[in-house]
């Protein structure tokens, strides 16, 4: 909290000497913040042995979507850097978030970039299941670094500590929110003024779309059919089944409609709210392949 008050510009953080009780308290604080992620390391035996109410269980039970918990051990003191495992995840993830075309990534495979200074954990299937859980909805959605076939090192499952919420979803949404804020403020601050008219509102909408187009270029959002809730603003609407060729929809009430519903808003120099709907492009984590052989 003191660090956030001193400098509000940082995004992810870790605490090198945190114990289980610290992880739980920090996770709770992080969930209340905007644009903040906590990366915690844990090596307690209760986690790997699946003892009820362990640290991972408690953070999952709190529906925390802004904390990444990693099971990592020093393996008899052979790998002391493992107590700082999430530093490698943070460094790799932030460096990979370049916002260049087709740069969107899933953290399950470390974004295609090797993690530096850390090693995989020697675990059996039961222990892995205790860390990760069987399905995201049941938790606890811990993460662990594993090797398969002496060839592939995989960071599983790439989740935050909430039901089915993956790190790349949180990062993509936070980045989009930041880009929208920057784009709109840049438009307002570099224009003589944005008039309280429908053409003025269109200027703001175009600023929002500029940020959305970056998410489209990166690969975080993609074209598809909208299956979410209906949005009816009177002059524009979005309904389930509607095609979104760019992966997003942006809408706003006309000034005439909005000012009639909010008569004091014009005097306060407010604009009608702008609504955004997006379709995430997702990421492949699992593949099923059927082979038919004829002899």
Q: Please list the alpha-helical segments (H only) found in 219-275.
A: 255-261
Check pLDDT > 70 for residue 91. Answer: yes
For residues 21-40, average pLDDT: 95
Q: How confident is the model at residue 62 (pLDDT cuts 50, 70, 90)?
A: very high
Q: How confident is the model at residue 193 (pLDDT cuts 50, 70, 90)?
A: very high
> Rounded to whole angstroms, how far apart are CA atoms 131 and 142?
5
Of 129-133, 161-165, 254-258, the one with minimum mean pLDDT is 161-165
Residue range 269-282, pLDDT digits in tens: 999 999 999 999 99
Q: How confident is the model at residue 11 (pLDDT cuts 50, 70, 90)?
A: very high
> 């709190």: which residue's tokens?
62
> Rounded to whole angstroms, how far apart are CA atoms 110 and 92?
7
For residues 81-95, average pLDDT: 96
pLDDT computed for residue 1 by the predictor: 67
pLDDT computed for residue 7 by the predictor: 85
pLDDT computed for residue 29 by the predictor: 95
Q: How confident is the model at residue 126 (pLDDT cuts 50, 70, 90)?
A: very high
Residue range 17-29, pLDDT digits in tens: 999 999 999 999 9
> DSSP strand E in 170-242: where?
224-225, 231-232, 237-238
The reported pTM is 0.94
């Amino acid at each position: 909290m003191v660090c956030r008050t001193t400098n509000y510009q940082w995004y992810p953080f870790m605490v090198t000497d945190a114990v289980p009780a610290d992880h739980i308290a920090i996770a709770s604080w992080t969930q209340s913040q905007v644009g903040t992620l906590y990366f915690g390391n844990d090596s307690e035996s209760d986690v790997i042995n699946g003892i009820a109410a362990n640290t991972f269980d408690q953070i999952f039970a709190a529906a925390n979507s802004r904390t990444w918990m990693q099971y990592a051990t020093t393996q008899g003191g052979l790998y002391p850097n493992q107590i700082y495992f999430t530093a490698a995840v943070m460094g790799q993830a932030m460096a990979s978030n370049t916002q260049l075309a087709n740069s969107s990534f899933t953290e399950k495979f470390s974004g295609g970039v090797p993690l530096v200074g850390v090693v995989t954990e020697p675990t059996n299937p039961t222990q892995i299941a205790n860390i990760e859980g069987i399905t995201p909805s049941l938790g606890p959605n811990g993460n662990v670094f594993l090797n398969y076939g002496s060839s592939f090192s995989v960071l599983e499952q790439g989740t935050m500590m909430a039901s089915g919420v993956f790190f790349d979803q949180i990062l993509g949404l936070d980045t989009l929110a930041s880009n929208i804020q920057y784009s709109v403020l840049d438009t307002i601050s570099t224009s003589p003024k944005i008039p309280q008219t429908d053409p003025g509102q269109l200027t703001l909408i175009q600023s929002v779309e500029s940020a959305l187009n970056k998410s489209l270029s990166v690969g975080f959002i993609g074209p598809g059919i909208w299956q979410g809730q209906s949005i009816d603003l009177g002059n524009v609407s979005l309904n389930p089944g509607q095609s979104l060729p760019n992966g997003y929809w942006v809408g706003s009430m006309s000034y005439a409609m909005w000012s009639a519903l909010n008569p004091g808003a014009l005097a306060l120099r407010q604009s009608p709210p702008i609504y955004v709907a997006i379709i995430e492009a997702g990421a492949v984590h699992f593949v099923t392949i059927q082979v038919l052989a004829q002899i």
